[in-house]
Amino acid sequence: MDQQILTTILNDTFTVTQLKHRLVMLKSYLTKKLFGTSDETNLEQTDLNWLSSLGEAFYQKFTKDNVYQILNDLQTQTNQIVPLTIYLPFEVEQSSSAQIGSFARTSFNHPTLLLEVRYDPTLIAGCALSWKGIYRDYSLKAKIEDKKEEILTTFKSFLR
Amino acid sequence: MNQQEIGYVASSRDFLVNLDGLPTIHINDMVESDQGLRGWVNSLSADTIEVLMVDEGNIFPKQLFKRLPTRLGIGVGDFLMGRAINSLGIPIDGKGPLSKMKSAPLMELEQAAPGIDSRQFIDRQFLTGITLIDTLIPLGRGQRELVMGDAHSGKTEFLIDVIVNQKGTGVICIYASIGKPAVSVRNLIDTLGANGALEYTIIIATSSSELAPLIFLTPKTAMTIAQYFQSKGKDVLLVLDDMGTHAKIYREIALLGNKPPGKESYPGDTFYQQAHLLERAGNFLPQAGGGSITALPVLELNLSDFTTLIPTNLMSTTDGHLLFKSNLYSQGQRPAIDIALSVSRVGRQTQDRLTNMLSLRIRSLLSSAQDLETISRFSSELSADSQLILRRRDLLLEMLKQDPLTAIPLSIQVILLSLVFTSFLGNKDRSFVEKYKKVLIEAFLKQPKLLPITKFLDKFKSDEQLIRTLEGVEPVLAKICQ
């Protein structure tokens, strides 16, 4: 059952940061819903939208007896997920990271793939990926380093 | 596209960092953080890589570490002679960078000790120029002799003397100063420099204020450099000062890494660490380079107690030990070695027959004197024979005293000690020896009537014969000592 819950959450959650944030939010929402007395909430509208997008069937899986157990299991499973780290030369907004995440899931045929987005301005352009301890650099910086001699020779030909 | 192995910081405690990732990393591979801080892989488990940092800096969670193409090692070559470096090969003597280090062949610090098929019998004596050692507790080239004793008992003084006395012998000296105060390292460099010993010496030193992993590597670096010169056929003297600090540093690293503490809180593999290192010394066959590494690990004792874990570990991994005592030092005995409690398990086989016989005679005299001393406490009158034994013991101990930074050739050592058994010194006391020792040395080196004895010492078949010959030149000696 936990796996189903996690799969539902991961449907439109693409980054590790987003997942962690949403799990905290879900915990807060569920404890208030199951054990609280007032309907007041301090969650942002985007978060409320996401919570409501999960559907009534999703919330029916949680009861007063199992909620903490399920949330703890979810946390354990989340810690075991190996994310794909992507290094980008610019800072991405949430909407862009969703686009990149969706593209990565389709490209790598991995429906629950999570991204860890890191900012590295030295890449200049393009990106670098890291997966299970292997780092592959597809950036402009790597290209320039590969063709360093060629570029220098070309530049030197313009020297008078 | 370029590809490399990376890992991320999962946790860190002081200089110890645990990494995730790096799928094909090995123990002793080097890694570097994105801020240029280096470390080496100390141990591997199913889900984490334990790295010991050798550079100081901030480590933060999820920090990226790259695997470096080189393993934990040092560039070695003759360019190291006369220099002082730290355990990673960085010069610390202010004489400028070692530019040849980068192009020099890299030798890994961690190596398995050469097997029995590359070793040979220790059959050459390692002469120290110190009478007490060369005659009574002789060392062989390739021997491992533990030098242990109280603080301020003259261990370092003795080691410096041994190094200085290697001048002109072709022996390369390597001194590893492990976690000592920076000022004592400076003093060591200055003393060796002032006595012209620096040109054939290499100092590897880490100060007490440096990171524990860096201090831990010091003896390994020294041994690796020693192995380089040994592989070139050279005889090397390696001093590891001191292994007690090394053990404490290893304990610190192990406890930080959550390894279960054993006896005296040292981890279970402390013995392995020490034995694994000292096993690399020895006397090697020509096909394995032909040189030798004579190792003198040093250990500072607490109140002369050598029955604790580290002293007993080191005593069992070496071929003997020299025990220095602070009370002997304060009584003016130099070197302050307790002869009865010191042993050399392989040195005797390297001694010539004459010295060996004389050494046995001296040991027997010392042992008899010790017995008599106990008896003399209960009886007021001693026989003439007993008094002679006690007097000879005193003369002998005076003969064995040696000023710092002096070397006495082996032939003179043998003659001086044989003189104790002649009638010439039979009725003399300690003060006579103290007064005329230098005169006698000079005489046996220069006096035309005495010089043949020194020159043809190897022709004597026994110590008896030498003592008889010395009796024959008594008038000459008496004239010299007027």
pLDDT above 70: residue A1: no
- The verdict on residue B183 lying in a domain is yes
HEC string for chain A: CHHHHHHHHHCCCCEHHHHHHHHHHHHHHHHHHHHCCCCCCCCCHHHHHHHHHCCHHHHCCCCCCCHHHHHHHHHHHHHHCCCEEEEECCCCCHHHHHHHHHHHHHHCCCCCCCEEEEECHHHCCCCEEEECCEEEECCHHHHHHHCHHHHHHHHHHCCC
Q: Are residues B165 and B284 in the same domain?
A: yes
- The verdict on residue B267 lying in a domain is yes
pLDDT in tens, A44-84: 888 889 999 988 889 999 999 999 999 999 999 998 889 99
At B66, which CATH number?
2.40.30.20
Q: Quote the tokens at residue B91.
A: 């010069």
Final residue of a structural domain among B26, B51, B71: B71
Q: Determine the distance from the C-alpha atom of residue A68 to the mean position of all C-alpha atoms in its chain, rounded to a whole number.
A: 24
At B84, which CATH number?
3.40.50.300
Q: Are residues B374 and B346 in the same domain?
A: no
- In this prediction, residue B372 carries a pLDDT of 85
Contact between chains at B1 and A133 (C-beta distance less than 8 A): no
Residue B92 CA: distances (Å) to CA of B96, B98, B449, B470: 9, 10, 52, 52
Q: Which residues pair with B236 in a beta bridge?
A: B172, B293
- Reported as a pLDDT band with limits 50, 70 and 90, residue B343 is very high
- Reported as a pLDDT band with limits 50, 70 and 90, residue B44 is very high
A134, closest residue in chain B (CA to CA): B5
Nearest-10 Cα torsion for B281, B284, B288, B292: 60
- In this prediction, residue B379 carries a pLDDT of 62
Q: Are residues B115 and B253 in the same domain?
A: yes
Q: Residue A146: list chain B partners with CB under 8 A.
A: 2
Final residue of a structural domain among B46, B71, B96: B71
Selection from B426, B428, B416, B425 nearest residue B454 by Cα: B416
Q: Are residues B155 and B269 in the same domain?
A: yes
Q: Are residues B142 and B229 in the same domain?
A: yes
- The verdict on residue B467 lying in a domain is yes
Average confidence (pLDDT) over A24-45: 84
Q: What gap in Å lies between CA B34 and CA B277, rounded to an integer?
A: 33
- The verdict on residue B125 lying in a domain is yes
> Does the interface predicted TM-score (ipTM) exceed 0.95?
no
- Reported as a pLDDT band with limits 50, 70 and 90, residue A36 is confident
Q: Are residues B62 and B196 in the same domain?
A: no
Contact between chains at A135 and B4 (C-beta distance less than 8 A): yes
Q: Are residues B87 and B128 in the same domain?
A: yes
Domain extent for B463: 353-480
Q: What gap in Å lies between CA B175 and CA B84, rounded to an integer?
A: 9
Contact between chains at A137 and B1 (C-beta distance less than 8 A): yes
Window 18-57 of B, Cβ < 8 Å to A: 20-23
Q: Are residues B337 and B396 in the same domain?
A: no
Q: Quote the tokens at residue A86.
A: 């992507």
- The verdict on residue B1 lying in a domain is no
Nearest-10 Cα torsion for B224, B229, B235, B236: -40
> Beta strand pairing status for B64-71 and B49-53?
unpaired
Domain boundaries, chain A: 2-80, 84-146
Q: Is A119 on the interface with B (CB under 8 A)?
A: no
Q: Are residues B166 and B285 in the same domain?
A: yes
| pTM for the model | 0.88
- In this prediction, residue B88 carries a pLDDT of 92
- The verdict on residue B239 lying in a domain is yes
- The verdict on residue B66 lying in a domain is yes
- In this prediction, residue B387 carries a pLDDT of 85
At B371, which CATH number?
1.20.150.20
Q: Are residues B368 and B257 in the same domain?
A: no
Final residue of a structural domain among B71, B96, B126: B71
- Output phi, psi for A116, to 5 deg: -120, 110
Count of domains observed in chain B: 3
CB B158 within 8 A of CB B298: no
Q: Are residues B418 and B304 in the same domain?
A: no
B25, closest residue in chain A (CA to CA): A133
Q: Are residues B84 and B139 in the same domain?
A: yes
pLDDT above 70: residue B34: yes
pLDDT in tens, A91-137: 988 888 889 999 999 999 998 899 999 999 999 999 999 999 999 99
